[in-house]
């Protein structure tokens, strides 16, 4: 090969490799996307808050949240007379969703068949108690309101 061919090859190498030496600029969207992926989507910095939990220490906010729901459901159901024919102990799992605006919804659930047989309106009563929960402020991650989901156990125990 001639001397001119080496100069052309060397020139092409430098022209094509210049991009490797330039710092890459990331767009704002790319940075936000990377940070969002790093963030653990299952951890909420501040859980949803009921007004009675407002003055609680940060460490007990989630406990206060779940206790408020449990107490509300217990009080709601205590207004109704429920008679079971046999002793039982079971758990109904209910998924509650608190959206970015503080709206409370729930995913459909199925009570155990024996419970549905003995208390035909149990699902309706539990649904009404969930829909009558007090106002809640949404959870936060890095100062941004987020939708959160909780899976709550409803323990049914009759001796």
User: Are 114 and 68 in the same domain?
Assistant: yes
User: Are 78 and 153 in the same domain?
Assistant: yes
Mean pLDDT, residues 149-158: 80
User: Are 15 and 85 in the same domain?
Assistant: no
Q: Is 44 within the bounds of a domain?
A: no
The C-alpha atoms of residue 157 and residue 149 are separated, in whole angstroms, by 25
Task: State the pTM of this model.
Answer: 0.66
Q: Which has the higher per-residue pLDDT, 69 or 159?
A: 69
Q: Is 43 within the bounds of a domain?
A: no
User: Are 72 and 100 in the same domain?
Assistant: yes
User: Are 23 and 83 in the same domain?
Assistant: no
Mean pLDDT, residues 25-35: 65
Q: What is the span of the domain harbouring residue 32?
A: 3-38
User: Are 62 and 24 in the same domain?
Assistant: no
Burial (CB < 10 A; 0-12, 13-18, 19+), residue 145, is: middle
The C-alpha atoms of residue 153 and residue 46 are separated, in whole angstroms, by 21
């Amino acid at each position: 090969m001639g001397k001119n061919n080496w100069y052309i090859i060397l020139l092409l190498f430098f022209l094509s490799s210049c991009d490797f030496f330039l710092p890459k600029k990331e767009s704002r969207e790319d940075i936000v996307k990377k940070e969002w992926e790093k963030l653990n989507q299952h951890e909420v910095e501040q859980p949803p808050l009921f007004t009675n939990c407002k003055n609680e220490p940060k460490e007990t906010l989630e406990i206060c949240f779940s206790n408020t729901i449990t107490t509300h459901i217990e009080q709601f159901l205590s207004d109704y007379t429920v008679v079971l024919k046999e002793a039982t102990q079971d758990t109904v799992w209910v998924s509650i969703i608190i959206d970015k605006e503080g709206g409370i919804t729930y995913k459909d659930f199925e009570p155990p068949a024996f419970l549905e047989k003995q208390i035909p309106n149990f699902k309706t009563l539990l649904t009404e108690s969930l829909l009558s929960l007090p106002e809640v402020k949404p959870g936060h991650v890095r100062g941004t309101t987020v939708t959160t989901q909780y899976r709550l156990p409803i323990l049914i125990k009759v001796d």
